[in-house]
A and B are shown apart, each in its own frame.
Chain A
Amino acid sequence: MYAQMIKTARSGIKTRDEMTDRERAFQDKIDADIKIEPRDWMPDDYRMTLIRQIGQHAHSEVVGQLPEGNWITRAPTLERKAILLAKVQDEAGHGLYLYSAAETLGESRDELVRLLHEGRMKYSSIFNYPTLNWADIGAVGWLVDGAAIVNQVALQRTSYGPYSRAMVRICKEESFHARQGYHAIMKMAFGTPAQKKMAQDALNRLWFPAMMMFGPHDSESTHSEQSMAWKIKVKSNDELRQQFVDQTIPQIEYLGLDLPDPDITWNAARGHYDFSDPDWDEFMDVIRGNGPCNVDRMKDRVKAWEDGAWVRDGLLAHARKRARVAAE
């Protein structure tokens, strides 16, 4: 997941009459569920919107390593440590798949990274919340990766071939992430009263931030219409959020934990759970850079990039020297 508030590069949708022949042929392909591939003709706005969305998605995978990496050395057992290490390594891989997909659109990875570090691109709001204790690590896998799966399963049907293929690969790995998180939370929920209390506290704190991952209400999501017409987005924010709530409530009940939102009730008429909104003012504030961890996340990200510069440059210098010697 992890793409929120993506501005579509144009406003409003063109009617068929307003489209050029090429645009009409392009829309016909989309409507017929034919994937768009890198060298196919595409409208500039389609390309720009995809670069923004895939880029933000990639940044989220990479920044998402930070709150969890924080706990690798403090995992409660060697097994949990190995599992968390494997999960965090997966996130780096997911970032790579997504940057690669963005690169097929003509934007280099280094350029996307530069835009992130300059604050001109964003990552998901969820990673601006802290992971205060071990229960949070379980809850992140369960809820955050769980929410990501809901979004990414839908995106497997996205219209751009390389993005869709990256999603298929990521979904296969993401299921491990959610299950290891739920497993860790199960241990605590079924453990001592103190452990159960920690599990409850983690659920309470992360529930609404997880709900925000799907972005604002459809009625507020002004850029969705064109993205849906181009099938860059396949399901709406509210549809995905409802799906997440519906699948997660029984999981909370199984753990014997209290629901994190007193308004959650089964609505038989709708066939879905009713629930209350997260605090959208808080969401907007976090997006604007004022969440609890925004500053630290970017500081750590930029530091990692700068500290790694000598390794990147050294390896490249070595490769160039070897190529030169081989040519002589």
Chain B
Amino acid sequence: MKNEWPLWEVFIRGQHGLSHRHVGSLHAPDADMAIKNARDVYTRRNEGVSIWVVEARHIAATAPGDKGPLFEPSESKVYRHPTFFDIPEDVGHM
């Protein structure tokens, strides 16, 4: 059996109530050690208040080749943005 520790992806919630954000990865034998190592490596300067780790092999992702069909359709739907609609100034803030 290969004796290489599995790869984990690390997500940290910053100080200001934001979502957990991907910050990097590391190797660890299990989840407990992954969290301990993430704490040592990725929060040495007050970067976070909460840590998630997930083994990299459990992450499903879109394929780079599907970028067009997946994301281009939204480019033409400008009416989904509030700035599409001109509201007269007389109406006030909306």
Q: Which residues of A contact B (CB under 8 A)?
A: 37, 39-41, 86, 89-90, 93, 96-97, 100, 103, 108-110, 166, 169, 173, 312-313, 315-316, 318-319, 322-323
Bound CA span A318–B26, Å: 19
B29–A315 touching, CB < 8 Å: yes
Q: Determine the distance from Cα of A325 to Cα of B40 in the docked complex, in whole angstroms.
A: 28
Q: Provide the residues of chain B in CB contact with A316, threshold 8 Å.
A: 3, 5, 29
**Chain A residues whose C-beta falls within 8 Å of the C-beta of B27 in the assembled complex:** 109
From A40, A313, A318, contact of B3 by CB (8 A): A313
Q: Does B77 contact A (CB under 8 A)?
A: no
Which of A100, A313, A319 is within 8 Å of B25, CB to CB? Answer: A100
What sequence of 0s and 1s flags, for each residue 1-27 of chain B, a beta carbon within 8 Å of any chain A beta carbon? 001110100000000000000001111
Q: Is the CB of B7 within 8 A of A315?
A: no
Bound: A227/B64 CA distance, A: 24
User: How many pairs, one residue from A and one from B, have CB atoms within 8 Å of each other in the complex?
Assistant: 46
The verdict on A39 contacting B44 (CB below 8 Å), with A96-B26, A100-B24, A313-B3 known, is no
Q: Kindly identify which residue among B5, B24, B25, B40 contacts A312, using a CB–CB cutoff of 8 Å.
A: B5
* Residue of B whose beta carbon sits closest to that of A322: B30
Beyond A41-B64, A319-B29, whether A108 also contacts B44 by CB under 8 A is no
Cβ-neighbour of A315 out of B33, B44, B61 (below 8 A): B33
B58 → chain A closest CB, angstroms: 14
Give A41 to B64 CA distance when docked, in angstroms.
8
Closest to B4 in A: A110
Q: Is B60 an interface residue (CB 8 A)?
A: no
Q: Which of A89, A318, A322, A323 contacts B44 (CB 8 A)?
A: A89
Count of chain B residues with Cβ under 8 Å from any Cβ of A? 18
B59 CB to nearest A CB, Å: 12
Chain A residues near B87 (CB-CB < 8 A)? none
Q: Does B63 contact A (CB under 8 A)?
A: yes
Q: A89-B44, A319-B33 are in contact. Are A100 and B61 (CB under 8 A)?
A: no
Residues of B bordering A, CB below 8 Å: 3-5, 7, 24-27, 29-30, 33, 40-41, 44-45, 61, 63-64
* Cα distance, A86 to B44, chains bound together (Å): 9
Given A89-B40, A93-B44, A173-B45, 18 extra CB contacts under 8 A = A37-B64, A39-B64, A86-B44, A93-B41, A96-B24, A103-B25, A108-B4, A109-B4, A166-B24, A169-B24, A312-B3, A312-B5, A313-B3, A315-B30, A318-B29, A319-B29, A319-B30, A319-B33
Tell me the bound Cα distance from A207 to B42 in angstroms. Answer: 33
Leading 4 A-B pairs by shortest Cβ distance: A319-B30, A319-B29, A315-B29, A316-B29
Please give me the residue from chain A that is nearest to B27 by CB atom: A109
Residue of A nearest to B37 (CB): A96
| Residues of chain B lying within 8 A (CB to CB) of residue A40 | 64
A89–B37 Cα distance when bound, in Å, is 12
Q: A39-B64, A103-B7 are in contact. Are A97 and B24 (CB under 8 A)?
A: yes
Which of A96, A312, A313 has the most C-beta atoms of chain B within 10 angstroms of its own C-beta?
Answer: A96
Whether B3 lies near A90 (C-beta < 8 A) is no
Bound: A100/B26 CA distance, A:
7
Residues of B contacting A313 with CB < 8 Å? 3
Name the residue of chain B whose CB is nearest to the CB of A92.
B41
Measured in the bound complex, the distance between the Cα atoms of B20 and A173 in whole Å is: 21
Residue of B nearest to A39 (CB): B64
Is B41 a contact partner of A96 (Cβ separation < 8 A)?
Answer: yes
Q: With the chains together, A17 CA to B7 CA distance in Å?
A: 41
Whether A39 and B61, one on each chain, are in contact in the complex, defined by CB atoms closer than 8 angstroms, is: yes
List, sorted by A's number, 22 A–B pairs whose CB atoms are closer than 8 Å: A40-B64, A41-B64, A86-B44, A93-B44, A96-B41, A97-B24, A100-B24, A100-B25, A103-B25, A108-B4, A109-B4, A109-B27, A312-B5, A312-B29, A315-B29, A316-B5, A316-B29, A318-B29, A319-B30, A319-B33, A322-B30, A323-B30
CB-contact partner of B63 in A39, A93, A108, A109, under 8 A = A39
B62's nearest neighbour on chain A, judged by CB, is A39
